[in-house]
Amino acid sequence: MDEYVTRRNKLAAQMHNGSIAILRGAAIKLRNHDADHPFRQDSDFYYLTGFNEPNAVFVLSKDDKGNVLYILFNQSSDPVAEVWTGKRVGQDNACKIYQADAAYDIAKIDNIMPDLFAGKQIVYYPLGADEKLDLDILNWLKCSKNKALSFIPNTLTDILPFIHELRLFKSDQELEFMRKAAVISAHAHLDLMRSCKAGMQEYQLEAIFNAKCLDAGCRALAYNSIVASGNNACTLHYTANDQQLMAGDLVLVDAGGEYNNYAADITRTFPVNGKFTEAQRLIYNLVLEAQLAGIAEVKPGNTWDRVQIVILEILVKGLVKLGILNGDYKQLIKDNEYKKFYMHSSGHWLGLDVHDAGKYKINDRWRKFEPGMVLTVEPGLYIANNISGIESKWLGIGVRIEDDVLVTKKGHEVLSSAAPKTIEEIECAAI
């Protein structure tokens, strides 16, 4: 729990004296009649509390002398409800286990919160992100005013940029969870290469992946798995996963487990029947060359955009060499001609969210990599079978290769390196 104390202290240090910070945790969401989605705590809330129950509100109160109190509103124990949904932490344990200075029944929040506003000038909260919370804050302010409390906040400030900047730099404990998520997921990818056979359905590979992750301790997938064979790989967020795997096709699998709420995000592309065709080999190796060069740019001091610049140069030069694009590579990049085949960016931050929190630019300039940041590097080429003017041997080939990369003091560490990646490794895995 010390980890969470440190995070709250870092947040509190940035709050003005005479202010209050408020975050609402996630609620249970209905899937359909009487069936809920699995509960997943809000990432910002979890980051600051480690508290994994629904219906909770986090408060950090800083008085005008700088004294800080951590207050949790959470569900109270309820023997009847607990028969159905299990034991609740309750207020005593919120203080004992989760180190809240005070904990109150969430049902009483409307009575208590106006008093917490007294003497404060600023409310930090996710401004405009949650309509219900926006309305609650206004109501609590109104109640405070009606109670004629000394003075009440006159400034609402978005809290998320403060939390997201903290979340961008992973602690050792967070990295332990991320390594675990990446290793489990990488092994699950390897299992797919071993199990894949023509005639199977895409969802059968999905089932193997999901089972391997859950079996190894991931309680959820970080996102819906993409298992896209043949031309389906050219649909970037294909999740239907309901087609048959055909010999001679590639299958692109973009899937990652979530360990202790930390995501892995890995893509591998491999031949259904274990052997790349010549055309597939050429496209695959081009994407691999770009990905390796992109990863090599991940080191302290390099700016975020370097990765995409290097990837683009290699991909576009390669496409010209293969006769898929024609012209000067610099001009083709300038004219966005490559976007027919590569239409996304080089990657994103990774952490509690698969597209994790944190700015990519500061004052409109790409930010520099610093140790502790984790990002994906994920170039791809997608030659959809409805693109005209392309030799037929290239059509229906979609390749993406995605790894999870930690920026270290000296350079980087690829967290997902246990998933086979070279053609040789992939073809060996399939034997």
Subset of 240-259 contacting Mn ion (CB under 5 A)? 254
| Site string (371-410) toward Mn ion, x via CB under 5 A | -----x-------------------------x--------
Q: How many residues bind ligand GLY (CB under 6 A)?
A: 7
Q: Does 254 interact with ligand GLY (rule: CB under 6 A)?
A: yes
Subset of 166-205 contacting ligand GLY (CB under 6 A)? none
Distance CA 235, CA 114 (A): 50
Nearest-CA neighbor of 272 among 85, 54, 430? 430
Residue from 44, 265, 403, 404 in contact with Mn ion (CB under 5 A): 265
Helices 131-146, 109-117: axis angle to 10 degrees equals 70
What are the phi and psi torsion angles at 252 (to 5°)? -100, 125
| Residue for token pair 């060996």 | 428
- Residue 363, SS3 per DSSP: coil
Distances (CA, A) of 32 to 29, 35, 85, 137: 9, 5, 18, 30
Is 33 among the catalytic positions?
Answer: no
With left for phi above 0 and alpha for psi between -120 and 50, is residue 157 left, alpha or beta?
A: beta
Subset of 34-93 contacting ligand GLY (CB under 6 A)? none
Is the Cβ of residue 74 or residue 225 nearer to ligand GLY in the bound state?
225
Q: Give the pair of three-digit tokens for residue 9.
A: 């202290």
Q: Do 401 and 288 form a contact (C-beta atoms < 8 A)?
A: yes
Q: Does 124 interact with ligand GLY (rule: CB under 6 A)?
A: no
Is 237 among the catalytic positions?
Answer: yes
CB of 223 to ligand GLY, least distance (A): 5
Q: Distance from CA of residue 42 to its chain's centroid?
A: 12
Query: SS3 helix, strand, coil % of the chain, rounded to 5?
Result: 40, 20, 40
Q: Distance from CA of residue 256 to its chain's centroid?
A: 10
Q: Which does 223 bind (CB under 5 to 8 A by kind): Mn ion, ligand GLY, none?
A: ligand GLY
> Which of 42, 53, 174, 265 is labelled catalytic?
265
Q: Does 416 interact with Mn ion (rule: CB under 5 A)?
A: no
Is 348 among the catalytic positions?
Answer: yes
> Which of 7, 42, 382, 404 is labelled catalytic?
382
Is 360 among the catalytic positions?
Answer: no
| Site string (381-410) toward ligand GLY, x via CB under 6 A | ---------------------x--------
> Which of 402, 403, 404, 412 is labelled catalytic?
402
- Residue 254, SS3 per DSSP: strand
Distance CA 319, CA 61 (A): 57
Subset of 200-229 contacting ligand GLY (CB under 6 A)? 223
| Site string (33-72) toward Mn ion, x via CB under 5 A | ----------------------------------------
| Residue for token pair 């080089």 | 346
| Site string (263-292) toward ligand GLY, x via CB under 6 A | --x---------------------------
Is 355 among the catalytic positions?
Answer: yes
> What secondary structure does DSSP assign to 158-188, as a single string?
E-HHHHHHHHHS--HHHHHHHHHHHHHHHHH
Nearest-CA neighbor of 372 among 394, 387, 350, 347? 350
Residue from 53, 202, 206, 378 in contact with ligand GLY (CB under 6 A): 378
Q: Do 113 and 141 form a contact (C-beta atoms < 8 A)?
A: no
Q: Which does 206 bind (CB under 5 to 8 A by kind): ligand GLY, Mn ion, none?
A: none
- In this structure, the number of other CB atoms found within 10 A of the CB of residue 39 comes to 15
CB of 291 to ligand GLY, least distance (A): 13
Count of all residues that appear for the chain in the document: 431
Is 254 among the catalytic positions?
Answer: yes
Is 297 among the catalytic positions?
Answer: no
Nearest-CA neighbor of 46 among 23, 69, 63? 23
Is the Cβ of residue 136 or residue 206 nearer to ligand GLY in the bound state?
206
The residues binding Mn ion (CB under 5 A) are 254, 265, 376, 402
Report the catalytic residues: 34, 237, 254, 265, 344, 348, 355, 378, 382, 400, 402
The residues binding ligand GLY (CB under 6 A) are 223, 254, 265, 348, 354, 378, 402
